[in-house]
Amino acid sequence: MIQIQGLNKSFNGKKVLDGVDLEVRTGETMVIIGTSGCGKSVLLRHIIGLMRPDRGSVSVDGTELNRIGKRDLYQLRKRFGMLFQGSALFDSLSVEDNVALGLRQHTALTREEIGEKVESKLGMVGMAGSGKLMPAELSGGMKKRVGLARALSMDPEYVLYDEPTTGLDPISADRINDLMAGLQEKLRITSVVVTHDMVSAGRVADRIAMLHQGRIIFCGTPQEIKKSPDERIQRFIRGEAD
């Protein structure tokens, strides 16, 4: 379980997070929605300790990130997979090498074992046999899937997705949605998905939280959010700027 309490973060005197409270239950897919620039990526970075809060806390299974040293933080991070915005593949490395990065750095597995693991993760995302390709040879959707295979390489308990469907055509986006939903169903992975894509949110979320002006102003099921009387939420769902 991930518990976020009273999280505050400012950059150059500008408040981005202003007391975020949120609980992500083990096994659920929590989708965080909000307008562009509202602080979704910043929030995600706090969850794996890539950013430190000015105030407040993030706890993972009862361990508060701010209270542990660097080494423990690295250990904890191994339990997380992250799909970064824009996939963030290394262009000079093959698909296989991109997916193998974490395994080579953080495990004592042999070359062969790593090769098998990489192929199995590529299979999970529908990219079996593509290990020798270079990122430049892939479509946007394929890059995202390779990014997802890399996020899954260390068999994480938690996967964090930053805008997994942004910039994809509807068919590729749906494929990613299906993959995310499947991971939750088959592997019981706990997921946090940050997106401004309401279609994607509705497809994969157990619960949706809306970040607005530095706070979570709503948290509930996809059915509940549709019925929310809050005008700020309805405007977002309708795709209108605020």
Ligand X SMILES: Nc1ncnc2c1ncn2[C@@H]1O[C@H](COP(=O)(O)OP(=O)(O)O)[C@@H](O)[C@H]1O
What residue ranges bind Mg ion (CB under 5 A)?
41
> Which of ligand X, Mg ion, none does residue 82 bind to, with CB < 5 to 8 Å depending on kind?
none
Judged by CB under 6 A, the stretch of 23-31, 33-41, 135-143, 224-232 that binds ligand X is 33-41
141 CB neighbour count, 10 Å cutoff: 20
- Angle of helix 111-124 relative to helix 95-106, nearest 10 degrees, comes to 130
Closest CB 201 distance from ligand X, rounded Å? 14
Contact between 13 and ligand X by CB under 6 A: the answer reads no
- Binding residue (CB under 6 A) for ligand X from 4, 7, 16, 149: 16
- In angstroms, rounded to a whole number, what is the distance separating the alpha carbons of residues 115 and 121? 10
Q: Pick from 96, 94, 85: which is nearest to 140 by CA?
A: 85
Judged by CB under 6 A, the stretch of 31-39, 53-61, 122-130, 232-240 that binds ligand X is 31-39
- Binding residue (CB under 6 A) for ligand X from 30, 33, 42, 48: 42
Look at strands 55-60 and 2-11 and give their pairing: antiparallel
Contact between 36 and ligand X by CB under 6 A: the answer reads yes
Secondary structure letter of residue 225 according to DSSP: H
The token pair at 3 is: 């518990």
Judged by CB under 6 A, the stretch of 32-40, 56-64, 70-78, 212-220 that binds ligand X is 32-40
Residue type, 225: I
Residue 95 or 209: the one with the smaller Cβ distance to ligand X is 209
Closest CB 108 distance from ligand X, rounded Å? 34
E-state strands within 100-214: 158-162, 190-195, 207-212
Judged by CB under 6 A, the stretch of 37-45, 112-120, 123-131, 142-150 that binds ligand X is 37-45
- In angstroms, rounded to a whole number, what is the distance separating the alpha carbons of residues 59 and 41? 18
Residues that bind ligand X (CB under 6 A): 11, 16, 34, 36-42
